[in-house]
Amino acid sequence: MRPIIVLGGGLAGLTLALFLRKQNVPCIVYEVRDEDFRKGGDIALSPNALRVLDHVGIYGKVRTQGWNYDTVRMINVAGKHLGTHNWGGLRNFHYHCLRINRDIVRRALLTEARVQGITIYLNKKCVSIEESGDEVTATFEDGEIVSSEFLIGADGIHSLTRQYLYPGSSARYSGLLVALGHTQRARVGTGLDGLHLPTMFFGKNGTFSILPNDYAGTEIGYFITTDVPDRGQENWTLLEKDKAAISQIFEEIVEEKGWPDFVRDLISTTRLEDFRTWPFAKVPDIEHWVSRSGRVILIGDAAHAIPPSGGQGAASAFEDAESLAYVLGELSLPNCTQPSLREKLQRWETHRQDRIRQILEYTIRAGNIRKRSSGMMKVLKEWTIWATFKLYEFQGGGPGWIYNYSAENILSIISK
């Protein structure tokens, strides 16, 4: 069998490649960017994400390179405790939650892939995909043409593979802007002493979250999630370069009376170059992640971009990758047939789409409480948050259906 073509050497693509290696299924990864590309900042990896990294063998290598925590406290500007959300915990979920730089995880996956002997081509841009008969062909910008029985689109939110399957399915701005900053804890003085970390503050202009970025807690990150109109790609790019304007966005969030002084201290002690923005994009709902032939498959952000408010974007991509690898592991069996594999891929697709649909509903609810509100709407929102977390306490502390998921369960689903 020819190596599976994996388009995308980010979190999803590299994770898939490592699990395919465990299944004795060959693949080659093609990544459009170079070795030193840096994408994004810090991400939260919940227990279901870390379970995948543990299975693939890198959890122990990244665990001490980020902040480990179990709970996030929700507080309003006046200091009233609204609730506590369990994001991790050894007793209930077997893992803590991990706040870590995205690039640390990507590099750990890349290093492990090379140790495992997986072929990875960088600076390799795919420009077209074509299916014919029993193969799929990818053509690259440098003129190289590669064919295989399968092609996996792990090529992110601006996926060429998704455009091939669904022309016109470009990503669009979601209406939510995330602005981020970080500073050294020592610069803030004693203001954070006694504050539970992470903590999320709720104000009329949005939320303000504070949490450490490193294992020792010496670097403090913070971010806001707020709803703002679309500025268009050109203006979003200009905003990212205008660090003073990003700082002003934070100032506008905390202009409401009552915000603690240390929140303003975090902003004022941050170097301008340490501010950044993330205008979150979403992809249209698409009916299928697997082509009719069963030879082209989407995973991760290429298939579904999960808003950041639920902390499940990377986790969902990891789950896609591990579970798909178990299905494609059938290729190493002597009695594997294309019709049989196509049927199992359809079961995989149904299972994953059902789960993503539930996660999206959960995430959208989490995003709605972070939007701007005032007057009675703000009071109602705070009451809703309080009631929601009281319900979580009654149910055992958090959404276990999200955090206790194991991708290995797909094996029983495809064997039915």
pLDDT tens-digit series, residues 33-61: 998 877 668 999 999 999 999 999 999 99
Asked if residue 157 has pLDDT above 80, the reply is yes
What are the domain boundaries of the chain?
4-171+283-414, 172-282
The per-residue pLDDT for 376 is 46
**Which CATH fold topology does 4-171+283-414 show?**
FAD/NAD(P)-binding domain (3.50.50)
The per-residue pLDDT for 206 is 76
Asked if residue 375 has pLDDT above 70, the reply is no
What's the rounded mean pLDDT across residues 291-315?
91
Judging by beta carbons within 10 Å of its beta carbon (0-12, 13-18, 19+), is residue 172 exposed, middle or buried?
exposed
What's the distance, CA 103 to chain centroid? 12
The per-residue pLDDT for 386 is 45
- Top-confidence residue, 310 or 106: 106
The per-residue pLDDT for 336 is 81
Query: Strand pairing of 67-69 and 119-121?
Result: unpaired
The per-residue pLDDT for 113 is 98
- Is the domain spanning 172-282 CATH 3.30.420.40? The answer is no
How does the average pLDDT of the chain come out, rounded?
A: 89
pLDDT band at 383 (very low <50, low <70, confident <90, very high): very low
The per-residue pLDDT for 369 is 54
pLDDT tens-digit series, residues 137-151: 999 999 999 999 999
What's the rounded mean pLDDT across residues 107-129?
98
The per-residue pLDDT for 339 is 83
Question: For a pLDDT cut of 70, what percent of the chain falls above it?
Answer: 91
What's the rounded mean pLDDT across residues 169-183?
92
* CB-based contacts of 187, cutoff 8 Å, min separation 6: 265, 269
Contact 219, 212 (CB under 8 A): yes
Contact 355, 410 (CB under 8 A): no
The per-residue pLDDT for 331 is 86
What's the rounded mean pLDDT across residues 15-21?
99
Judging by beta carbons within 10 Å of its beta carbon (0-12, 13-18, 19+), is residue 66 exposed, middle or buried?
buried
What's the distance, CA 398 to chain centroid? 19
What's the rounded mean pLDDT across residues 308-331?
92
Question: For a pLDDT cut of 90, what percent of the chain falls above it?
Answer: 69
